Structures are given as C-alpha cells and as structure tokens.
A and B are shown apart, each in its own frame.
Chain A
C-alpha cells in the first residue's frame, strides 16, 4: 500500500538556520511527489513537485527537494530560513489504483504525510 512518512512533527529553528525536513514514501511504481505548505489559518499551497528528470527540484521561496529513489525519500531543504517560513509542511504522493490508465492509474487525489510544523524564531 502507498504511504508517506514525515519524521519530524515539530521543528524549531532560529532565523538563518538551514532546514531539512524528511519525507519517505512507500510505492513501487513511477513516483510523483509534492511538498505543500500551509501558513497559519490558510489553505495548502504547492511548494514544489517532482515528476521525472532532475532529482533536485527547485520550488518557490528558495525551497528545494531531492528525490532519492534508492532511499524512497524526498526531503525538503532551505539553506536559510526566515520567520515568514513558519508554517506546516506536508509531503504528498498521488494515490494510484483504479484510476485513469492514461495517468498511471491516478485517482486524482493525494496521500499526505502527517505534516511537520516549522517554527522560526526571529
């Protein structure tokens, strides 16, 4: 069965510190992966996505993630965090099963990790 694991529940950093949030997935087929961010009181926004090609993916606001197939990982990184990065971060994997064959069986929805809350101290 497909699953997504995020190891860190709450991370507290000072401004300018480097960030790495862990994400591991379980799925044996072709993988697409997403990172979403949810600022306090807001809805989910896409940070970055991986479909194929370069395993190092760059997203918005200076975030990047590296897809390592051998480790089933897609960790999110940022070299220097800001107070405005305080938010909850979710790793997600498209659910596949009895969906459309043209889209690899995608059912058009996502399996989420439980999220990592990031608090950045000014």
Chain B
C-alpha cells in the first residue's frame, strides 16, 4: 500500500517551460487536492477534486491546470512556468470528506529559473 505517490521529487524548469507534476493514490479516495508550500505562508490550496471528472479551484489557481480522469490520478500542469511558481508542491487525498484524515505525498520541490 503506497499511499500517495508524487513524481518527480525535484525539478528545475526554465521560465516559460511547461511540465506536469504527477500524483497517484491507491487507497480509492474520492477527494484529492494540490497545495503549494512557501516559507511563512503555510500550505495554500491550488486545485482540488471531489471525484473523477470533477475539479475546482482553490485559493491560488492561476498558472495551474488539473484534470481528474480516474480516481487514482490527479496531475497538476504548469502551462508556462514563472519564477513565482518556485515552491514545494504537495498532493493529498482523503475519503468521506476527510473524517479519517488526509494522506499527503512526499512533495515535489520545483525551482523555476
């Protein structure tokens, strides 16, 4: 039981490049979400999904796209990377509205130069 798996763990991009951060969970959780963590800002919600085919914006969605074609996968796409997107990104999943807690991935450290 792997939990929530994020790839890659580290990535360096040039400004304007695009990439996809992968997130997969094997717990059959219906809820998945993406956060970014910046010093002194805590974790801020980027996008979330309450089930396959359903996504919505969080607090800081600009510059990011998501889709949820399967229950297991919830990729986060950066369309045109900017230095302001340098951050650590965490994916999380939960079931039944999170009453049993939320499982986090190990994070992706992204640097945009």
Point out residues on A near B: beta carbons under 8 Å: 6, 9, 32, 34, 42-46, 49, 51, 90, 94-95, 98-100, 102-104, 106-115
Count how many pairs of residues, one from A and one from B, have CB atoms less than 8 Å apart in the complex: 81
Of B56, B90, B98, B101, the most chain A CB neighbours within 10 A belong to B98
Tally B residues with Cβ within 8 Å of A.
29
**Which 10 A-B pairs give the minimum distances between C-beta atoms?**
A103-B97, A108-B31, A106-B97, A109-B33, A114-B42, A112-B42, A112-B43, A44-B104, A109-B48, A43-B106
For B58, the chain A residues whose CB sits under 8 A away are 109
Q: How far is the CB of B98 from chain A (nearest CB, A)?
A: 5
Main secondary structure of the interface of B (DSSP, over half): strand
Nearest-CB residue, chain B, relative to A6: B42
A95-B45, A108-B31, A115-B42 known; A46+B101 contact, CB < 8 A: yes
- Among candidates B40, B43, B96, B107, residue contacting A103 with C-beta atoms closer than 8 Å: B96
The 29 sampled A-B contact pairs (Cβ below 8 Å) are A9-B40, A32-B98, A43-B90, A43-B105, A43-B107, A44-B104, A45-B104, A46-B102, A51-B99, A94-B97, A94-B98, A99-B50, A102-B96, A103-B97, A106-B31, A106-B97, A107-B48, A107-B50, A108-B30, A108-B33, A108-B48, A108-B97, A109-B31, A109-B45, A109-B92, A110-B33, A112-B44, A114-B40, A114-B42
Contact A108–B98 (Cβ < 8 Å): yes
8 A Cβ contacts from B11-66 to A: 30-33, 35, 40-45, 48-50, 56, 58
Within 8 A of A (CB), among B99-113: 99, 101-102, 104-107
**Pair B50/A108 contact, Cβ less than 8 Å:** yes
Further pairs besides A34-B101, A108-B32, A109-B31: 5, Cβ < 8 Å? A44-B104, A106-B98, A108-B49, A109-B48, A110-B43
Answer whether residue B94 sits at the interface, using C-beta atoms and an 8 A cutoff: yes
Residues of B within 8 A of A106 (CB): 31, 97-99
Give complex CA distance A92, B96 in Å.
17
In the bound complex, what is the Cα–Cα distance between A99 and B48 (angstroms)?
Answer: 11
Among A34, A44, A103, A115, chain B packs the most CB atoms within 10 A around the CB of A44
B32, B99, B102: residue with the most chain A Cβ atoms closer than 10 Å: B102
